[in-house]
Amino acid sequence: MDAKKLKNLKENLTEIITEEEFDNLKEGSVVYCGYETSGPFHIGTMTTALNLLRFQNAGFKVKILLADVHTKLNRKGDAQFIEEMVNYWKKCFIALGLKESEFVRGSEFQFEKSYVQDVLALGLEITVDRARRSMQEVARDLENARVSQMIYPLMQIADMKALKVDVAYGGLEQRKIHMLAREILPAIYKNIVFCHSPLIVSLLGPGSKMSSSKPETMIKIDEDPEVIKKKISSAYCPISTEDNPVLQICKFIIFSKTDKFKVRRPEKFGGDLEFSSYTELENTFINKKLHPADLKSATAEHLIEILNPIREEIKI
């Protein structure tokens, strides 16, 4: 695979298990990411889609699992709602440039006899407590967990065999399930590589991620520009790199789409600034040479510019 493109891909991955195995993968290796189709497609999800584009550009074959059955098992919608969301999410991925990816619905293969046999075989390899722990970052209302939510990780692991993947990719909330898969997947398939990327924290600040069920925490990819300005204007933005959603939007979205970041300021406040890398922007902000209000304003402008064509394509 192209070494330069692999380096670019790795820059937005926080963990690769293991990097040596990753580096030995061949051109055309299959990477997959699964998505619960449970609500609005937001910029937190967009970060993983942009990384899938990097995988594609580096020579991987990308498979996107529209996990309709998992969505139901995790108590996130009825059949009609999930069906509508599957169609909408596919349009969003295509609008983001992933039209060459292979889109697969869980319900297309997860009721086949061989698949069910794999799920049952995995069930013999894991305790209920371990299954529950693996769902800590994923399950809805884990305190009152249903049996369906314990089946969920077994199915996610069985998916990796059914889709014939070489790499499983996801946000860090998937890590516990992936580490379980690393341990027991060889019982039915083979050892594969696991890659993770950071989650954009809630616009309200640390303690939670962006969530489609909480509009105040996130920005939809088809959000109205005025709403984007308002949400970013009021977003949590300390002079720190830790849990700063505004800086994360700059790093994982804006600088994924452009290599120029312009901040417009009146001359009395120092005039306009232009940055050609995220590191340059971050250093200027941390050293208090860029005010949070100016960073927020510029971030909103750039994000609106990126999302405008996507919003129009989704409407079609």
Q: How many domains does the chain have?
A: 2
Whether residues 232 and 116 fall in one domain: no
Domain coverage including residue 229:
215-315
| pLDDT tens digits along 177-206 | 999 999 999 999 999 999 999 888 999 998
Among 162, 197, 232, the domain boundary falls at: 197
pLDDT value of position 293: 95
Residue that wins the pLDDT comparison between 147 and 159: 159
Whether residues 41 and 105 fall in one domain: yes
pLDDT higher than 70, residue 316: no
| pLDDT tens digits along 13-62 | 999 999 999 999 999 999 999 999 988 999 999 999 999 999 999 999 99
On whether the CB atoms of residues 166 and 159 are closer than 8 A, the answer is: no
pTM for this prediction? 0.91
Continuous H helices in the chain = 3-10, 19-23, 43-57, 68-73, 79-95, 113-123, 128-134, 147-162, 175-184, 225-233, 245-249, 255-257, 278-286, 292-315
Whether residues 89 and 39 fall in one domain: yes
pLDDT value of position 37: 92
Among 163, 197, 231, the domain boundary falls at: 197
Please report, for the domain that includes residue 178, its CATH number.
3.40.50.620
